[in-house]
Each structure stands twice: as structure tokens, then as C-alpha cells.
Chains A and B, each alone.
Chain A
């Protein structure tokens, strides 16, 4: 199979362009979406389908419901939130997208996609850089795609655009320039899948989105120290590939879950419970942001968010004690 190298941003652009060519129901809405300097990610798709990109006023609180209305009338909207924190404005409509099919007694839908790009580790502070993944995780029926590499970004967006479900497609801005190898053909990455990025026997590291890169960096530091980590990246956190997680956990008997959201009430707490319910005599710990909002500037932000050092230290503590 031939392969090619592309960035995370280009992978999203390519998937979008292909799906927009294949499905005339797809339209993209968002603030400032036509500004090429501001919105670099979807440049090719925008150049090819300029009339299907709609620049909106500041209406994050309405966006999900506008998307719902578009879908009820036969379109498939992609809604852009350029700052993850704006989920706090859009939360009401995200909730409605989650509950809509239950209250209308339908088995699928609505097919609305939120592309949420997140400013973690870029020093933007609490009002622009909260991810809210933990809060979205609590909503019913919302697929949460958390790509970490160009390969996942392309394949997951293709799946999202061909599915009939509400999807939060979570893009970490630190990843946009990240290069990766992808197959030189069309492919999909299914919801509820994961990748075992590195096989190991001593401790399992579970991560998603940008945390996957911290986990791999920590694993590379630990290898020469004879701590053999297994790294699993979750392509979606809802649905979640618990089978792969549990298989790895049974093997290593030690698990560390790494997430960028606050520790309290985080996604890791759910994963930890699921593991402990099924496997006895296992050590599961969590690394997450401290339970405070993010301060402005990277210097202080780094004191709050998980780091490679945190992961290395926790692995040592688990494996050597």
C-alpha cells in the first residue's frame, strides 16, 4: 500500500473536501470562517466549495439548534467552534442534539457535526482554553472523536460525515502542524476504535488527542530505563474501545489514564471504574489537569496541565514500588 505524509490540518481538509464533493448536503458554518488567515485548516475545501461555507454572526448559543434545524430540513451541517471554551455557550444545544432522537422516538440522528478546536498548552487562559470534553462526555448519544494523528483525523472525519449521528470532532490546535503518514487512498476510522501505538508489558498508558503525544514521549523516555509501557490511544471517547483497554490492563496490571481536562469528574474516572469493575488486583491511576481554571501564559499553564514528566514519574512510582 502506498503512503504519503500530511499534516493534521491537511488531513482534516482532505477528508472534508472529499466528503463535500460526495455529499451536496454538507455545509459548514462558523464565525470568521471565510477569513483565510484565521481559518487555515479547511482551505482546499473552502476554495473548492466557497458557497457551502457560511460565515455567521456571534451565535454560539444558537449554533447547535441552527444545525438541528438544517438537518431536520435535509442538510448535514458542520458547525465550527474556534475555541473549545465556547462549548459553554453552545452547551444547551449540544444537550438537545444528544436527546433529540430519544424524545422523538427515532433510532438515529440528528446528523450534526461540531468541529471544536481547542487551545490547550498555548497559554490562552481560562476564558479561551477550557476543553469541556468531560462535560460533553456526560451528554447522551454524542459521539466524541478525539484524533491524535493525521491518520485518525482524516479517517474519523470521513466516518463522522457519513454517519447519522451528532458528533463532536475535537481538534487540538497543537496538532495542526503535526506531520504523519497516511495511506494514499480513501479510508475510514470507525467510531469506538483505538490504536495500540506501542506494545509493552509493564504499564498501560491510555490517552487521546494531544495527550497521546505526551504519553508516547514519556514511553520513549521510560524504555531505556527498563520500564516497558503499552500506549493506547482512543480514537473516540464515546463510544470507547474498552475491549482493547481491558486486554491491555489484564496484561500489564498497571494502568495510567492521561487527560487534559480537570481531574475531578473527568473521563478517566469512568475508564478507571470500568477497569476496576472487571479486573481485580490492578493498579489504576490518573493524570489530569489540576482542579482549577487555566491561568494565562504558558509558564503558569504548565504548572496546571499534565506534563511528560508527570507521566514518567507516575510510571516509575507504579512500576518500581
Chain B
């Protein structure tokens, strides 16, 4: 029985690993384009793929997502097509918002990615609205909203935790706590050591887990998701991360690559080590990597060949109404 469970965990984490690789390779390629002047601002999520990938893998098809602006792991994990992400970033009509969305364009109703705003703090309110709709419609769904420790300073977090607790809304608040808000350390921004302890004041259950504790993070998240679904209560999961790249592509003049992260600090390396120690062979990992690399390359080729939105189509959206 124990070995069946271990095998299942290994299989699930291999899927998580593949999603992390996909996100990282896409991130690196998009950065190359940025420094060639072919994309808008980017917020690299390199080194922070594991937590979002685990959550994306553990939620169900109909669940709602309000992703974070940093990185691509969440939306890729939900099944958003790579060429749609690339198309968006290079201003092509096949993009998620037809290549004319702003710095936070990830909306894909087909995958219940509802969109989000980089006017940070307001995503909490949007999540409450979605959670309230789920409750009023008596749906068996969860809303996952991602935010950083900097965003947690906005007063709407308190308002949202209060409302979600009061109304028993099935919301998973995911704080990706990388300890820095653009360049200011969390110690200078927060009176509490963790964001989670603030939520407990609103009677919202919490847990804080490091992103490098792979199997623990996976197993606990699985239980948390089940408890939200069963008990219809909000939960705040705080994932302790480290931000390796600069805040945005505007802060540097060259791409930030995964190879620049010290190995023992990289959660993806920890995941890879876990898989190697299980029965996943080096060949399997290598083949996964190669397969994903080819997928990304062909998605880039497809997106680059696509057309931009015509002026006429642009003004069919951008008109006074």
C-alpha cells in the first residue's frame, strides 16, 4: 500500500516537474525577446515555479484561478496553451487578450483563469466576488487567488479575509512570500513575521511551508484543498520562496536564467532530486526536458508567424461606448 502511495506521489510530482520546466524555459525565451525589444515588461518567475505548479495540479477542472503576475507556472499548469501566452507577450492576435492586454494580460475563461489586475490588492476583492458567486450558485468549486508579501500590505487583504471568513467562502489565498517587495525587505514592510499570522485574526486557517520542502508542500496542499472543498471555508497558504530574478525586466539588461540560481537554493533542483531518489530515471527526466523544449520552440515558431490585431479590429474594442 505504502509503495503504491509513493508511486502515485512520484507520478504526480513528475507532472509538477514538467510544468515547472515548461514555465522556466518559456520564461527564459520570453526574456530573450524582451532584451531584443520585442515584448513589453516581464516579471520573471524563475526559481518560483514549484508552489504554483503544485496548486495548479491539485485543483480541479472547474475551479477558478486568479493568478499572480509573476511567472507562468500557474496558467500553464491549468492547461493554457503556450502559443497563446507567447502571442500575448509579442502582441499577436492569438494572444490571450489578442496581444493588446497590458502588463497583466492572463485571462482565459476556457480554463477558468478569470484575469487579474496589477493594481495590487484588488485581486483579493475580485476573489471574494468569485467566491461569493460560487456560494450563491451552490457550486462545488474553489477560488485560488495568488499574491505576494508586498501586496499583503494592501488593506483589502484584511477586508477580504474578514468577508471570506464571515461568509464561509471557499477561497484558497496563496501568499507567495519571497521576502521582498520590489526591493524592500519584508521586515521593513510587515509588523508580523509571516503573512499567515495576520489571517488567523480573522479566524482563517493558515499554514506556512517552504517551497523547497517538496513532498510536504504537495501533501499538505492536497489536504488543504480537500478541506476547503468539504468545509467551505477559506484558507491562507503561505509559501516561503526566494526571488532570484530582479523585480521586472526593467531592472536589468540581460535575461535571468535558471542556471544562475545556486543549485541547493533552487526548489526545482530539490524536486528533481526527489524524483531521482524515487524511481524516475535520469533518462526520463532528460526526455521530459527535451520534449518540453521542442514544444516551446514550436510554440514560438507558431506565435511568431501569427498576425497582429488589425487596426480595424483594434478599434472595434478600443472605442468610446
**A interface vs B, CB < 8 Å?**
27, 54, 56-57, 59, 61-75, 77, 92-93, 96, 100-107, 140-141, 165, 239
Pairwise interchain contact A59-B132, C-beta atoms closer than 8 A: no
Given contacts A71-B129, A72-B115, A107-B316, 14 further A-B contacts (CB under 8 A): A56-B163, A57-B159, A57-B163, A62-B122, A63-B125, A66-B126, A68-B126, A69-B126, A69-B128, A69-B130, A72-B129, A74-B133, A96-B117, A105-B97
Give, as a whole number of angstroms, the nearest-CB distance from B247 to chain A.
21
Pairwise interchain contact A62-B156, C-beta atoms closer than 8 A: yes
Pairwise interchain contact A104-B115, C-beta atoms closer than 8 A: yes
Which chain B residues border A70 with CB–CB below 8 Å?
129-130, 132-133
Specify which of B97, B128, B155 is in contact with A61 (CB 8 Å cutoff): B155
B162 at the interface (CB under 8 A from A): yes
Pairwise interchain contact A73-B64, C-beta atoms closer than 8 A: yes
Which chain B residues border A61 with CB–CB below 8 Å?
155-156, 159
Pairwise interchain contact B133-A69, C-beta atoms closer than 8 A: yes
**B interface vs A, CB < 8 Å?**
64, 97-98, 100-102, 105, 107, 114-115, 117, 119, 122, 124-134, 136-137, 155-156, 159-160, 162-163, 166, 309, 316-318, 320-321
Give, as a whole number of angstroms, the nearest-CB distance from A273 to chain B.
15
Pairwise interchain contact B98-A105, C-beta atoms closer than 8 A: yes
A65-B101 in contact given A70-B129, A102-B317 (Cβ < 8 Å)? no
Give, as a whole number of angstroms, the nearest-CB distance from B316 to chain A.
7
7 interchain residue pairs of minimum CB distance: A69-B129, A65-B125, A73-B133, A62-B125, A66-B129, A69-B126, A105-B98
Cα of A106 to Cα of B134 in the assembled complex, Å:
23
Which residue of A is nearest B104, CB measured?
A103
Q: Could you list 27 A-B pairs, sorted by A, with CB under 8 Å?
A: A57-B163, A57-B166, A59-B163, A62-B125, A62-B159, A62-B160, A65-B156, A66-B126, A66-B128, A69-B127, A69-B133, A70-B129, A71-B129, A72-B114, A73-B114, A73-B130, A75-B136, A75-B137, A93-B122, A96-B119, A102-B318, A104-B97, A104-B115, A105-B98, A105-B100, A141-B321, A165-B321
Which chain B residues border A66 with CB–CB below 8 Å?
125-126, 128-129, 132, 163
A62-B128 in contact given A73-B133, A103-B105, A104-B107 (Cβ < 8 Å)? yes
Which chain A residues border B166 with CB–CB below 8 Å?
57
Give, as a whole number of angstroms, the nearest-CB distance from A147 to chain B.
20
Cα of A75 to Cα of B100 in the assembled complex, Å:
26
Which chain A residues border B126 with CB–CB below 8 Å?
65-66, 68-69, 72
Which chain A residues border B163 with CB–CB below 8 Å?
56-57, 59, 62, 66
Which chain A residues border B127 with CB–CB below 8 Å?
69
Which chain B residues border A75 with CB–CB below 8 Å?
133, 136-137
Which chain B residues border A165 with CB–CB below 8 Å?
321
Which chain A residues border B131 with CB–CB below 8 Å?
69
Pairwise interchain contact A57-B115, C-beta atoms closer than 8 A: no
Give, as a whole number of angstroms, the nearest-CB distance from B133 to chain A.
4
Cα of A107 to Cα of B137 in the assembled complex, Å:
26
Cα of A53 to Cα of B126 in the assembled complex, Å:
19
Specify which of A77, A93, A101 is in contact with B125 (CB 8 Å cutoff): A93
Specify which of B115, B119, B137 is in contact with A74 (CB 8 Å cutoff): B137
Pairwise interchain contact B132-A69, C-beta atoms closer than 8 A: yes
Give, as a whole number of angstroms, the nearest-CB distance from B85 to chain A.
15
